[in-house]
Amino acid sequence: GATVVLIAMHEGDGHGTEPLREMLERLPRGTIDGIVSGHTHLKVSEFVADVPVIQAGVRGYHFARFDLFVDRATGRVNPDLTKMHGVVNICGTWFANGEECYARGAQEEIEKGKASEADFFPLRKPFYEEMPVEPDLVVRKALAPYLASANKIRGEVLGHAHGNFGRHDCGENDVGQLFVKSYAEAFPDARVIYMNGGGFRRMLNKGPVTYGDLFEVNPFDNFVVKVRLTGRELRRMLEVGFSGVHTVPQIHGVRVKFHGSDHQSQERDLNGDGRKEKWERNRIESLTWENGSPVNDQETFWLVTSDFLVMGGDNMDAVFDSIPESRRSFQDVIQRDVVAEWLRKNPSVALPLPYQPRVEMVR
């Protein structure tokens, strides 16, 4: 078997009741030698249940590291020698005033008059452990053909935006509506489209829209899934989605009114674990089809969404754990490619798309 066990997991930082901590506390000591975590977008460099855990923030801005020392005689990690390093910035160059290279932050400080360009320039060479950071020419040469191939795909122009796309975390947004429109036409037998709002990582800007732009908007290789739902199951899905814990979903086919503030009357224990958690709140005031008719609990229909949600992401295990495999149909297409193909078929469409709001927040 393995002598050194490292885990890469999309779970949090191990604080409080995080699943990462729960897992490590249940396992016998020495089962896992180190964990590289994610999900919470934090800078983590600490021991959790005696296991080194690192997380490098978000968006590739940082670098996290721990050193493990393997005993040559046993082939096992000696945990007493494990060395944890602080999380550092990843920079091709440093600003003049510190070990930092966050361009947007510098621009905002200059625009607000809190700093001047002289505080940041001239740029200087970065160092790590007192050594200059230099590109590895061998690695650069090895990567060159793959980067060239990726750049060719990235540069494909799919459409043109006549204005910047707007973003509204508390409701519908232009990018989300582009996705649900594309899905609705690609899967005409689906009565409902549901996209998790957290899957959109940036908006599109005025000008050419490339495949690379679309990738940055939705940089996840999640697959499309069709699910046969009942009206009752859809209602539960929307209740979880609009609970206020996650970014408001982007929907097509139904209209939703939800409360934008919390109230004790919304609290409940959906999963029967004795706790009333935030994701379990019911903030839905009304749910109808787009034509205004009520959604009946017993009626059935196709819903199109992502495998991330069907596999339980964003607390959707409360919905999909009870839905058998026979009612799930995994499609052989990545969700952003549905949008890319729709744009290829509609090259002259004006972006952003006009749309009638389906989500209304009530105070």
Q: Are residues 161 and 85 in the same domain?
A: no
The answer to whether residue 125 is domain-embedded is: no
Residues near 310 by beta carbon (within 8 Å), at least 6 away in sequence:
225, 227, 316, 320, 328
Q: Are residues 184 and 333 in the same domain?
A: yes
Q: Are residues 77 and 167 in the same domain?
A: no
User: How confident is the model at residue 351, as a pLDDT?
Assistant: 94
The answer to whether residue 200 is domain-embedded is: yes
**Of the residues 36, 66, 89, which one is the last residue of a structural domain?**
89
User: How confident is the model at residue 1, as a pLDDT?
Assistant: 63
Residue 179 carries which side chain, given as an amino acid letter?
Answer: F
The answer to whether residue 62 is domain-embedded is: yes
**Of the residues 72, 89, 106, which one is the last residue of a structural domain?**
89
Query: Domain of 17?
Result: 6-89
The answer to whether residue 109 is domain-embedded is: no
The answer to whether residue 197 is domain-embedded is: yes
The answer to whether residue 27 is domain-embedded is: yes
User: How confident is the model at residue 100, as a pLDDT?
Assistant: 87
User: How confident is the model at residue 11, as a pLDDT?
Assistant: 84
Q: What is the CATH classification number for the domain harbouring 309?
A: 3.90.780.10
Q: Are residues 216 and 317 in the same domain?
A: yes
User: How confident is the model at residue 204, as a pLDDT?
Assistant: 94
The answer to whether residue 275 is domain-embedded is: yes
What end-to-end distance do the CA atoms of the chain give, in Å? 58
Pick the closest to residue 86 from 99, 97, 105 (CA basis).
99
Q: Are residues 204 and 322 in the same domain?
A: yes
The answer to whether residue 262 is domain-embedded is: yes
Write out the two tokens for 248: 């408001």
| CA–CA separation, 247 and 57 (whole Å) | 20
Q: Are residues 169 and 269 in the same domain?
A: yes
Domain count, the chain: 2
Q: 3-state class of 154 per DSSP?
A: helix
Q: Are residues 195 and 69 in the same domain?
A: no
User: Measuring CA to CA, how many Å separate 240 from each of 206, 262, 303, 342?
Assistant: 34, 14, 16, 29
User: How confident is the model at residue 7, as a pLDDT?
Assistant: 95
User: How confident is the model at residue 14, as a pLDDT?
Assistant: 67
User: Measuring CA to CA, how many Å separate 171 from each of 30, 143, 360?
Assistant: 46, 41, 7
What b/e string do you get for 67-81 counting C-beta neighbours within 10 Å, with b at 16 or more?
eeeeeeeeeebebee
Q: Are residues 249 and 354 in the same domain?
A: yes
**Of the residues 89, 113, 144, which one is the last residue of a structural domain?**
89
User: How confident is the model at residue 2, as a pLDDT?
Assistant: 73
Q: Are residues 298 and 200 in the same domain?
A: yes
Q: With contact defined as beta carbons under 8 Å apart, do 221 and 278 qualify?
A: no
Q: Are residues 205 and 305 in the same domain?
A: yes
Q: With contact defined as beta carbons under 8 Å apart, do 229 and 304 qualify?
A: no
Q: Are residues 307 and 221 in the same domain?
A: yes
**Intervals of the chain under pLDDT 70:** 1, 14, 16-17, 169
pLDDT digits (tens, 9 = 90+) for 59-112: 888 999 999 999 999 999 999 999 999 999 999 899 998 888 888 888 889 989
Q: Are residues 210 and 358 in the same domain?
A: yes
